[in-house]
C-alpha cells in the first residue's frame, strides 16, 4: 500500500470546510440531536448508562440528562443516538457518519461554530476513509459506521484539541489499534454500541496523543496496519473540499428499514382510502427482497421491514416518520390488512439500491405511476423542512422548534441544555 492516507488526513484537518458543507452538517446535527433524545428514552440502555456514570466523572453533557467525562459521554451519546437506527447515512461507504463523530465533538467543543467545523471535517473524513477502505471491508463484516467512523471522530477531536501535525498523526495511529466493530452485532444492542465505541475511540486517541502517546507512523496504510489487517482496498480518494461527500448524505424520513424509504418517498404525496385502491405494484432493487419484504407482519418491529405494511400505512395517512406509528396494533388494523393484501412487490435489476417505482391502480381504472431515487438532489431548504417534520413527529413540536433554532445558531450551552431532552 503506497498511500500515506494518514498524512493526507492530517493535512485535511487543517482546512476550513466550505459553507455549504457546514450548512449540511447543521442539518445533520439537528437530526442527530432529535435521534439522540428519542434514543435516550429507550429504557433498555439505562443500566449501561448508569455503569458509565458510576465510574467516570466530568462536565460533558449526557443526552437525556447528567454529565460525565468526555470519553464516557461520547460512548453513551454515540450509543443512544444510534439506538433507533434513525440517524443519517452515507451510501458511498455505507455508514452512519454523525453517530460516531458528533458525540465526540460535543464532548470536547468550546463553541458551536468550532463544533460545526470539527464535525464537518470529521464526517467528511469518515466517509472518505470508508471509501478508501472500500466495499470488501464492509462485505467481509466490518461495520463502517464504527471503523471509518472512529477515524473521523479522531480527526474531529484532534482538531478541537488543536493537536499539531505530529500529535494528530499519532492520534490516527492510536485509532488504528482501537477502531473496530463487526456486523455480527446487527439486530442486537451492540450495533448502536459500535457507534458509541467509535466516538469514544476518537476522543481517547486524540487525548492520549496530546498526553504524549506515540503510535505507528501510518497506522492506516502502513505495514501491519489497519488496511492490511482489515481487508482494506486502498481505493483512490482525494482528501479535500472540491466535491464534498457530506452533501450527499441521506437522512431517514421514515422510522423503518432504509430499503423501504425510496418507496415511501415515492408515495409521499398520495392519500387514499382502502376502497379507492385496486392494486399497488412496487418495483425495487433485488437486494432488498430478503431484507424488508415481510408480506404479513404481526409486530411493530416486523412492520418496519415490510413493503406491503408501510406502503399501506403511508397511503392511509399513518405517519411513518414517528416511532410510535410502528405498533403491534397497526399490523392488525382492518384497513391496513385489506390494502396490504393488494400490494405486490417485484425485484427489478434495472433499479439501483436507492430507487423505487410504484404503480397504483385505482378502483376507477386510473393508474398513478410514481418513482423516487433517494440520491436525487434535494435542496437544503426541502431537506430542512422534512427534517423538522421528522423531529416534530419524534419529539413533539415543543421540543423540535427550539432544537431547530439552537442548531442553526451559535450557542453551544443552549444546544447542550436541549440535549437533556426535557419536552
Residues near a copy of itself (CB under 8 A): 44, 47-48, 50-51, 54-58, 69-72, 140-143, 146, 173-174, 176-186, 188-190, 193-194, 197, 207-208, 211-216, 218-219, 222-226, 228-231
Cβ 355 to a copy of itself shortest distance, Å: 26
Q: Is 232 helix (H, G, I), strand (E, B) or coil?
A: coil
Cβ 173 to a copy of itself shortest distance, Å: 6
Chain centroid offset of residue 280 CA:
30
Cβ 197 to a copy of itself shortest distance, Å: 7
> In 3D, which of 166, 165, 132 has the Cα closest to residue 151?
132
C-alpha 343/C-alpha 298 separation (Å) is 16
C-alpha 158/C-alpha 119 separation (Å) is 11
**Residue closer to a copy of itself (CB basis): 215 or 416:** 215
> And the C-alpha cell for 298?
404481526
C-alpha 294/C-alpha 281 separation (Å) is 15
C-alpha 255/C-alpha 322 separation (Å) is 6
**Residue closer to a copy of itself (CB basis): 117 or 204:** 204
Crossing angle between the packed helical segments 190-210 and 70-81, to the nearest 10 degrees: 150
**Residue closer to a copy of itself (CB basis): 10 or 393:** 10
**Residue closer to a copy of itself (CB basis): 30 or 142:** 142
Cβ 134 to a copy of itself shortest distance, Å: 14
Tell me how long the chain is: 423
C-alpha 201/C-alpha 319 separation (Å) is 37
**Residue closer to a copy of itself (CB basis): 169 or 254:** 169
Cβ 68 to a copy of itself shortest distance, Å: 8
Cβ 72 to a copy of itself shortest distance, Å: 7
**Residue closer to a copy of itself (CB basis): 56 or 250:** 56
C-alpha 157/C-alpha 201 separation (Å) is 10
Amino acid at each position: 500500500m503506497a498511500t500515506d492516507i494518514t498524512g493526507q488526513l492530517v493535512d485535511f484537518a487543517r482546512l476550513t470546510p466550505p459553507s455549504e458543507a457546514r450548512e449540511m452538517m447543521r442539518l445533520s446535527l439537528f437530526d442527530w440531536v432529535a435521534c439522540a433524545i428519542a434514543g435516550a428514552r429507550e429504557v433498555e440502555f439505562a443500566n449501561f448508562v448508569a455503569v458509565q456514570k458510576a465510574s467516570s466523572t466530568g462536565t460533558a453533557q449526557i443526552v437525556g440528562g447528567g454529565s460525565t467525562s468526555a470519553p464516557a459521554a461520547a460512548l453513551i451519546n454515540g450509543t443512544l443516538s444510534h439506538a433507533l437506527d434513525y440517524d443519517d447515512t452515507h451510501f458511498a461507504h455505507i455508514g452512519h457518519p454523525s453517530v460516531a463523530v458528533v458525540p465526540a465533538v460535543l464532548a470536547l467543543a468550546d463553541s458551536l461554530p468550532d463544533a460545526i467545523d470539527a464535525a464537518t471535517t470529521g464526517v467528511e473524513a469518515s466517509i472518505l476513509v470508508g471509501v478508501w477502505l472500500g466495499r470488501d471491508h464492509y462485505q467481509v463484516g466490518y461495520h463502517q459506521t464504527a471503523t471509518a467512523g472512529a477515524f473521523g471522530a479522531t480527526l474531529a477531536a484532534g482538531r478541537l484539541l488543536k493537536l499539531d501535525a505530529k500529535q494528530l498523526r499519532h492520534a490516527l495511529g492510536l485509532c488504528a489499534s482501537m477502531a473496530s466493530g463487526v456486523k455480527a452485532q446487527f439486530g442486537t444492542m451492540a450495533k448502536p454500541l459500535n457507534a458509541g465505541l467509535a466516538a469514544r475511540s476518537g476522543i481517547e486517541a486524540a487525548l492520549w496523543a496530546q498526553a504524549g502517546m506515540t503510535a505507528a507512523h501510518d497506522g492506516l496504510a502502513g505495514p501491519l496496519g489497519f488496511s492490511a489487517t482489515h481487508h482494506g482496498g486502498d481505493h483512490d480518494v482525494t482528501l479535500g473540499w472540491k466535491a464534498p461527500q457530506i452533501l450527499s448524505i441521506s437522512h431517514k424520513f421514515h422510522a423503518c428499514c432504509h430499503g423501504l424509504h425510496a418507496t415511501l418517498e415515492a408515495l409521499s404525496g398520495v392519500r387514499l382510502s382502502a376502497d379507492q385502491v385496486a392494486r399497488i405494484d412496487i418495483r425495487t432493487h433485488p437486494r432488498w427482497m430478503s431484507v424488508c419484504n415481510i408480506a404479513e407482519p404481526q409486530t411493530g418491529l416486523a412492520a418496519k421491514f415490510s413493503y406491503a405494511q408501510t406502503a399501506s400505512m403511508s397511503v392511509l395517512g399513518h405517519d411513518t416518520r414517528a416511532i410510535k406509528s410502528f405498533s403491534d396494533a397497526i399490523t392488525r388494523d382492518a384497513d391496513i390488512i385489506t390494502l396490504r393484501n393488494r400490494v405486490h412487490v417485484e425485484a427489478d435489476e434495472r433499479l439501483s439500491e436507492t430507487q423505487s417505482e410504484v404503480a397504483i391502480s385505482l378502483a376507477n381504472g386510473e393508474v398513478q405511476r410514481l418513482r423516487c431515487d433517494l440520491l436525487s438532489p434535494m435542496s437544503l431548504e426541502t431537506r430542512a423542512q422534512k427534517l423538522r417534520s421528522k423531529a416534530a413527529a419524534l419529539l413533539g413540536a415543543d421540543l423540535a422548534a427550539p432544537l431547530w433554532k439552537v442548531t442553526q445558531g451559535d450557542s453551544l450551552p443552549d444546544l447542550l441544555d436541549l440535549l437533556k431532552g426535557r419536552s
